[in-house]
C-alpha cells in the first residue's frame, strides 16, 4: 500500500441500497448510493442505456444495468435477499456499478460491509473475491487489499467521526443497531472491538414494514399492490400518491410496526441493551 497517499474507498452492497464513497476531497468523504436492483437486458429484453442514471457493467460476460435510474425504470424491480447474495453475479454487478463512479484505477484498500451473521462464514470469501483486477466498463480497476467489516461497525465509525466522539466512545460499551432493508443487524462493542456473543441479525428489516403497509393499502383499495420501493420513497418524501390521489401512509404505521417488533425483542434479549452505555442507530 502506498503509505504516502493511499487510495481508500468503501462500498456496502446492502439488500436495499448500495452505498459507496465516490471520492475523498480535503479529508472529507463524498458518499452516494443507488438501489440494489439490477436489470439484465438479455433476460428482460429491456435496456435503459440512454439514461445517465443507469450504469452499464459486465460480469462473466453477462451485461447488467444498475444505478439510481433502475428503480424507477423497473417499477420497483426485484432485490436479491438471501445469505449467499455475495456469491452472485448480481452482487458483483452492483459492486462494479459503484466502482464505475470512482475516478481511480487503483484502490489500495477497499472497505466493504457485511451483515453480522455473515461475518464468520463469508468474510474471507468476499475479501478474496474482490482482491485483484476488475474490468469495469472500458478500464481495469486494481484492488490491492479488501477489509470486510460488520455493517453496524461502519455506521458507528461514521457517526463517531462526524460527531467527533471517537476518543470518547473508544472505551464505552456501545450497542450498534443497523436497521437494514432485509435484516436488522445489531452488535455490542467496546469502541470498535466486538463483544463476543452479543451480536446478531434478525430478518425483519425495513422490507417487512413496507410489505405490511402495502398489504394495508391493498386491502383498503381492493387491489394487489406490492411496489414497496414506491412506498419507501413516499415515506422519505412525506407524500405518497397512487392512481392520482394522495394516500395517508401514517394510518398503516401501527399495524406495520408489529411486523418489526420481533427484531426489537431479539436485540433486547441478546444485545443486552440495559447493560450498554450508548446506543447508536
Residues paired with 200 in a beta bridge: 186
CATH of the domain at 270: 3.30.420.40
Q: Which three cell numbers stand for residue 197?
A: 456473543
Please tell me the predicted confidence (pLDDT) of residue 75.
57
Looking at the structure, tell me whether residues 129 and 226 fall in a common domain. no
Q: What is the pTM of this model?
A: 0.82
In this structure, are 140 and 186 located in the same domain?
A: no
Query: Of 124, 150, 176, at which residue does a domain stop?
Result: 150
Segments in the chain forming alpha helices (H): 41-44, 70-73, 89-100, 119-130, 151-162, 166-169, 206-221, 228-237, 253-270
Number of domains in the chain: 2
Residue 157 lies in a domain: no
**Residues 185, 268 within the same domain:** yes
Structural domain boundaries enclosing 205: 165-281
Q: Tell me if 145 is assigned to some domain.
A: yes
**Residue 14 and residue 114 in contact, taking contact as beta carbons nearer than 8 Å:** no
Among 115, 150, 185, where does a domain finish? Answer: 150
- Claim to verify: residue 175 and residue 272 sit in the same structural domain: yes
Both 68 and 128 in a single domain? Answer: yes
**What's the pLDDT score for residue 141?**
97
Same domain, 78 and 129: yes
Q: Considering Cα of 56, then 131, then 146, then 205, what sign does the dihedral take?
A: positive
**Residue at a domain's end among 126, 150, 174:** 150
Q: Read off the C-alpha cell for 228.
A: 414497496
**Would 156 be classed as within a structural domain?**
no
Q: What is the mean pLDDT of each run of 10 residues along the chain (281 residues)?
A: 80 91 86 90 60 89 90 62 85 97 96 90 96 94 96 80 76 86 87 82 88 95 90 91 92 93 84 67 66
Q: Are residues 146 and 174 in the same domain?
A: no
Q: Is 76 exposed, middle or buried (0-12, 13-18, 19+ CB in 10 A)?
A: middle
Amino acid at each position: 500500500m502506498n503509505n504516502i497517499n493511499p487510495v481508500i474507498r468503501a462500498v456496502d452492497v446492502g439488500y436495499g441500497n448500495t452505498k459507496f464513497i465516490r471520492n475523498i476531497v480535503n479529508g472529507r468523504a463524498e458518499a452516494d448510493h443507488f438501489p440494489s436492483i439490477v436489470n439484465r437486458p438479455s433476460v428482460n429484453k429491456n435496456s435503459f442505456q440512454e439514461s445517465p442514471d443507469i450504469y452499464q457493467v459486465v460480469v462473466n460476460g453477462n451485461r447488467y444495468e444498475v444505478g439510481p435510474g433502475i428503480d424507477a425504470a423497473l417499477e420497483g424491480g426485484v432485490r436479491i435477499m438471501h445469505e449467499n447474495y455475495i456469491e452472485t453475479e448480481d452482487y458483483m454487478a452492483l459492486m462494479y456499478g459503484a466502482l464505475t463512479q470512482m475516478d481511480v484505477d487503483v484502490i489500495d484498500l477497499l472497505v466493504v460491509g457485511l451483515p453480522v451473521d455473515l461475518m464468520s462464514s463469508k468474510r474471507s470469501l468476499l475479501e478474496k473475491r474482490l482482491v485483484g483486477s476488475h474490468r469495469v466498463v472500458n478500464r481495469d480497476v486494481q484492488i490491492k487489499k479488501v477489509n470486510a467489516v460488520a455493517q453496524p461497525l461502519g455506521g458507528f465509525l461514521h457517526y463517531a467521526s462526524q460527531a467527533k466522539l471517537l476518543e470518547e466512545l473508544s472505551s464505552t460499551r456501545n450497542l450498534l443497531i443497523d436497521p437494514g432493508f432485509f435484516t436488522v443487524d445489531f452488535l455490542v462493542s467496546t469502541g470498535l472491538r466486538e463483544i463476543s456473543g452479543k451480536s446478531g441479525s434478525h430478518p425483519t428489516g425495513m422490507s417487512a414494514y413496507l410489505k405490511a403497509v402495502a398489504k394495508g393499502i391493498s386491502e383498503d383499495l381492493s387491489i394487489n399492490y406490492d411496489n414497496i420501493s414506491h412506498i419507501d420513497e413516499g415515506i422519505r418524501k412525506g407524500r405518497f400518491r397512487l392512481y392520482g390521489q394522495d394516500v395517508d401512509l401514517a394510518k398503516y404505521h401501527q399495524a406495520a410496526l408489529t411486523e418489526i417488533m420481533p427484531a426489537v425483542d431479539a436485540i433486547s434479549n441478546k444485545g443486552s441493551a440495559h447493560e450498554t452505555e450508548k446506543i447508536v442507530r
